C-alpha cells in the first residue's frame, strides 16, 4: 500500500485543496484521489506532540501515538483508519484502501512552507534528516534494477 496525504497549511483555517491519495495497493498500481469534503475544510489535519499526523475530524487516518517500533520488515502503526468522515473515499472501505491495517514499511512526514528561502542557511540545518546509503556505483545499480522492475510492473 502506498497512501499519502497533502494538506496545504496557510494562515487561514480553510483547507479546500487538501486530499489523500493512494498510488499502489496489493502490489499493483492503483491511483485514487480522496478530496476533502466541502463542509470539512477546517478538519483536514490535526497535529499533537504525542501523535503522528491525524487526517480528518473523524480521524479518517490516525497514524500512530507515542513511539512505534519496527517488527522486522515493517512498522505496525498503533493508530486506526475510519475512512469517509472528512475525506470522500468514493464508497471504498478500509479493506479497499489499506487492507484494513496500518502496517507500513516507511512513513515520512514533510513540512513544506510557503515563502522564500533564507539567504543564509545555518550549518546545523544543512545536515540530512536521515541517513541514506552511500551514493556509489553499487547503489546506482540497485536503484536502476528497482526502477526497471517497477516500470515493468506498470505495463
User: Can you tell me the mean pLDDT for 110-138?
Assistant: 70
Q: Which residues contact 2 (CB under 8 A, 6 or more apart)?
A: 22, 23, 24, 25
CA distances from 155 to 28, 29, 66, 81, 150 (A): 11, 10, 41, 31, 9
| pLDDT per residue as tens digits for the range 42-76 | 888 888 888 888 888 878 888 888 888 888 888 88
Residue 59 maps to a domain: yes
Percent of the chain surpassing pLDDT 90: 1
Domain, as residue range, for 80: 2-119
Q: Shortest CA distance to 93 belongs to which of 84, 85, 102?
A: 84
Residue 96 maps to a domain: yes
Q: What are phi and psi of 53, to 5 degrees?
A: -60, 140
Residue 44 maps to a domain: yes
Residue 93 maps to a domain: yes
Give the total number of structural domains in the chain.
1
CA dihedral 126, 131, 135, 138 (to 10 degrees): 180
Radius of gyration, alpha carbons of the chain: 18
Higher pLDDT, 13 or 109: 109
User: Can you tell me the mean pLDDT for 115-126?
Assistant: 71
Residue 61 class from Cβ within 10 Å (0-12 exposed, 13-18 middle, 19+ buried)? buried
- Judged against a pLDDT cut of 60, whether residue 13 lies above it is answered with no
Amino acid at each position: 500500500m502506498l497512501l499519502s496525504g497533502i494538506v496545504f497549511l496557510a494562515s487561514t483555517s480553510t483547507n479546500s485543496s487538501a486530499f489523500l491519495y493512494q498510488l499502489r495497493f496489493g502490489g499493483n498500481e492503483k491511483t485514487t484521489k480522496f478530496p476533502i469534503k466541502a463542509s470539512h475544510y477546517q478538519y483536514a489535519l490535526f497535529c499533537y506532540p504525542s501523535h503522528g499526523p491525524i487526517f480528518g475530524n473523524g480521524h479518517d487516518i490516525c497514524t500512530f501515538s507515542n513511539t512505534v517500533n519496527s517488527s522486522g520488515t515493517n512498522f505496525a502503526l498503533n493508530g486506526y483508519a475510519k475512512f469517509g468522515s472528512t475525506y470522500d473515499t468514493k464508497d471504498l472501505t478500509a479493506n479497499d484502501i489499506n487492507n484494513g491495517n496500518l502496517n507500513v514499511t516507511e512513513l515520512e512526514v514533510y513540512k513544506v512552507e510557503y515563502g522564500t528561502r533564507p539567504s543564509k542557511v545555518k550549518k546545523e540545518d544543512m545536515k540530512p534528516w536521515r541517513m541514506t546509503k552511500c551514493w556509489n556505483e553499487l547503489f546506482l545499480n540497485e536503484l536502476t534494477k528497482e526502477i526497471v522492475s517497477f516500470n515493468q510492473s506498470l505495463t
